[in-house]
Structure formats: C-alpha cells, structure tokens
Amino acid sequence: MNVIQVLTSSPLFGVCLTILAYEVGCILNRKLKTPVANPLLIAVVLIIVLLKLLGVSFDTYNQGGSIITLFLAPATASLAVNIYAQLEQLKKRLLPVLAGALVGSVCSVGSILLLSHLFGLDESLTASLIPKSVTTPIAMSVSQQLGGIVPVTVAAVVVTGIVGAVFAPTFIRLFRVKDPVAAGLAIGVSSHALGTTKALEIGEVEGAMSGIAIGIAGLITVILAQFLA
C-alpha cells in the first residue's frame, strides 16, 4: 500500500479535504468579490479534480465526506436563530409568506413533471428531480419515497442551490424586487439552504424569510409527494 492509499483510506481524509476545499472557496470568494466565485461551487470542483488526480474513488472519499453530511440537518435548523430575530415581520406577513411558498413549491414540482415529460425521462429520474428545490435531508426522504435515485437527488439539490446562490442577486436586480420579504422568500423556496447563505449576505430580513421558506417549502413538497407516490 503506497502513501496515497494510506492517507486516503482514513475517514479523516474526506473530512479534511472537504473543509480545506471549502476554506479555499471562501478565500477566493472574499478576494474576487463575485457571486460566481461561490465557495461551495469552488469546493466541489477542487474535490473532484483532486480525487481524479490522486486516483481516489468517491466511495473512499465519502467515508469521511458522509460525516460532513450529518451536519446538514443541524446547520439548517440553526437558521431558526435569524428567523426568531425577524418574528415580527413574519407575524405581519404570514399569509403572503405561506401563499408565496405554496405557489413556489407547486411551480417547482410542476415544472419538473412537465420538463421530465417533454424530455422523455423515466419515472426514477423524474422522482429524483422532483424535490430538487428543498433542503437535502427532506429531498433525500422524498426521493426514496417516490422511488428515485438518491445520489441523483443530492446532485440536483446541490446544483439548484449553487445556481440560486450565484444568480439570486442578479435576478433580484433584474426583476427589480424591492421588498426584502419577497426577495428572501423567492430565494428560500427556489434554492433552499445554499441560496439562504446568499440571502443572509444580502440582508437580515432576506435571510430570515429565506430560512422560513425552506421549512414551509419542504413541508409542502412532502405533502405534494403523497399525491405523486
């Protein structure tokens, strides 16, 4: 067994590689100051390149990478702190927030069903893509329930989140969204926790509304999945 095999055989390899790659992404994001230099996107690219160069399989990397996955649920739950700080905003606009999340979730699921039909995707792929706009733990559960392919679902969720985080500020300016509640809600419904990280950078209200939208959209998607199963 060579040195590379010894180093990569430990779960610590996946953990350390993930943390270091993300840190590099954060450094580049601060220096370049552009939404395109998203830390997660940079980390994903770096990890893929390094695994290829080192000849390390995904399964070997995922021994440690899966440990990082365990923190997804508590990291999402921690968004409740910012939501609590904007509780008055939520009370004042509860009905519009619920209505917006419902419409956004229905549009997300409906567009996947329509596009999957147009492109002739089979049932398993369609089921895998349906929960793409909700946070990963919920998306994985919904995908399993519908008979989807969980790794495909995770990839779709990550791509959706990255696209939302990168382009959310541009779309907000393009469509002249002035209301911070509307902006945050749109980001959360369409691009879950990854988009919410960008919403938090835009403003406290946007971040809180985006965090609220994650939970509501997740619940609505789970309910919609009951009718599709």
Give CA–CA dist 221/227, Å, rounded: 10
Return the structure tokens found at 222: 């789970």
CB contact at 8 A, 131 and 221: yes
229 or 185, greater pLDDT: 185
The residues, any chain, with a CB within 8 Å of residue 25's CB and separated by 6 or more, are: 37, 38, 39, 40, 41, 42, 43, 46
How far apart CA 123 and CA 65 sit, in angstroms, is 29
Per-residue pLDDT at 114: 95
How far apart CA 12 and CA 4 sit, in angstroms, is: 13
What is the percent of the chain where pLDDT is above 90?
38
**130-180 tens-digit pLDDT:** 999 998 888 999 999 999 999 899 889 989 998 888 888 889 999 999 999
Q: What is the pLDDT of residue 102?
A: 92
Q: Which is more confident, 97 or 76? A: 97
Q: What is the pTM of this model?
A: 0.78
Q: Which of 83-87, 116-120, 165-169 has the lowest mean pLDDT?
A: 83-87
Q: How confident is the model at residue 76 (pLDDT cuts 50, 70, 90)?
A: low
Strands (E), the chain: none
Angle between helix axes 180-202 and 94-118 (nearest 10 degrees) is 80
Range of lowest pLDDT (17-26, 63-72, 101-110)? 63-72
* Tens-place pLDDT, residues 4-56: 677 777 888 888 999 999 999 999 988 987 777 888 889 989 999 999 998 88
pLDDT of residue 2: 64
The set of residues, in sequence order, having a beta carbon less than 8 Å from that of 226 and lying 6+ positions away, is none
> Of all helices (H) and strands (E), which one includes residue 100?
helix 94-118
Report the candidate in 190, 124, 125, 183 with the shortest Cα–Cα distance to residue 157.
190
